Amino acid sequence: MRALSSPNALKGVLTAQAAAAALARGLRSAGVEAEELPVADGGDGTADVLAGVLGGEWYTARVSDPLGRPVDARWLLLPERVAVVESAEAIGLKLLAEGELDPLRASSRGFGELILAALSGGAAELILCLGGVATVDGGAGLREVVDSFPVPTRVARDVVAPLLGPRGAAYAYGPQKGATRDQVVELEERLAAMPDLEPYASSTAASSCSTRSTSTRGSATSTSSSPARARSTRPPPRARPRRPWCGRADAPACAASPSAAESSSSSTACRPMRSAGAPRLPRRISSRSARR
């Protein structure tokens, strides 16, 4: 019998490589021939998986962590000068202790700085990996330093979600970043009030990374791991912002944003609201729980 050991990372526990090795050891101990092939979904660890398969050269840049402190972050230059830049390397949850989580203060600026480092390092193409971040700033910090993508850019993400509403950045992911119930409401209001995000407040879907709304110039495609696909998109026309939810039991909460610069995906129907008022918050996860 032959088996393929091909897990993703177990967040906060094992990397994809370590998980694949552990699974393969167990299979081999039972007399099964096992081959290791770790996978990634666009979150933290994606660059490591690509480096293991494609090779490449690692570089390090000094950037800002989610709280503005200097941190050395890696990025990978693949053959053909394709740079893989992970948001989690610069602004990841892994960079903060549990007591340091501060979504009202945390900024995505460091991710923008890491992107600039890759461009300065000779990247002819970018793969931006979104996920595992400590921020819910709607990409505001990133946009402070990045105003265009001068090379072809792809976005790797594993979740499609709206910008606003019960499945949006603040309500679905704010608690994972340490937000209290009141802070989630404030984060939602901040996102809804950002002029740069107005075109995306009522249409098109976004990735789970809170830096996803990057209203910068340049072409980009969005690559999803479930199912895996890439598509080239255009931004939707500017529209009058809608309320994040409407309170009618039969009305969907339709709000979203693009994954990256001037990119968006086709709208998908949102689930109807069950009752009026603000959506119910997900329970807070512990430090031992998997974080996206």
> Does any domain span residue 61?
yes
> Does any domain span residue 167?
yes
Same domain assignment for residues 137 and 247 = yes
Same domain assignment for residues 131 and 18 = no
Same domain assignment for residues 161 and 56 = yes
Q: Which residue has the tokens 């976004």?
A: 206
Give the per-residue pLDDT at 5.
94
Same domain assignment for residues 19 and 75 = no
> Does any domain span residue 246?
yes
Per-residue pLDDT tens, the chain, 292 aa: give them.
Answer: 999 999 998 877 888 899 999 999 999 999 999 999 999 888 888 999 999 999 999 999 999 999 999 999 999 999 999 999 999 999 999 999 989 999 999 999 999 999 999 999 999 999 999 989 999 999 999 999 999 999 999 999 888 889 999 999 999 999 999 999 999 999 999 999 999 999 888 754 444 344 444 445 565 555 554 333 333 333 333 333 333 333 333 333 333 333 333 333 333 333 333 333 444 444 443 333 334 4
Same domain assignment for residues 120 and 102 = yes
> Does any domain span residue 91?
yes
> Does any domain span residue 157?
yes
Give the per-residue pLDDT at 57.
97
Same domain assignment for residues 20 and 138 = no
Same domain assignment for residues 156 and 50 = yes
- How many domains is the chain partitioned into structurally? 2
Closest CA to 255 of 191, 202, 292: 202
> Does any domain span residue 267?
yes
> Does any domain span residue 291?
no
> Does any domain span residue 292?
no
**Angle ∠(35,38,39) on CA atoms, nearest 5:** 135
Q: For residue 273, give the CATH number of its domain.
A: 3.90.1510.10
- pTM for the model stands at 0.70
Q: Give a three-class secondary structure readout of 207-263.
A: CCCCCCCCCCECCEEEEEECCEEEEECCCCCCCCCCCCCCCCCCCECCCCCCCCCCC
Same domain assignment for residues 202 and 258 = yes
Same domain assignment for residues 34 and 84 = no
Same domain assignment for residues 130 and 261 = yes
User: Which domain range does residue 5 map to?
Assistant: 1-39
Give the per-residue pLDDT at 223.
54
Give the per-residue pLDDT at 216.
53
Same domain assignment for residues 90 and 12 = no
Same domain assignment for residues 25 and 49 = no
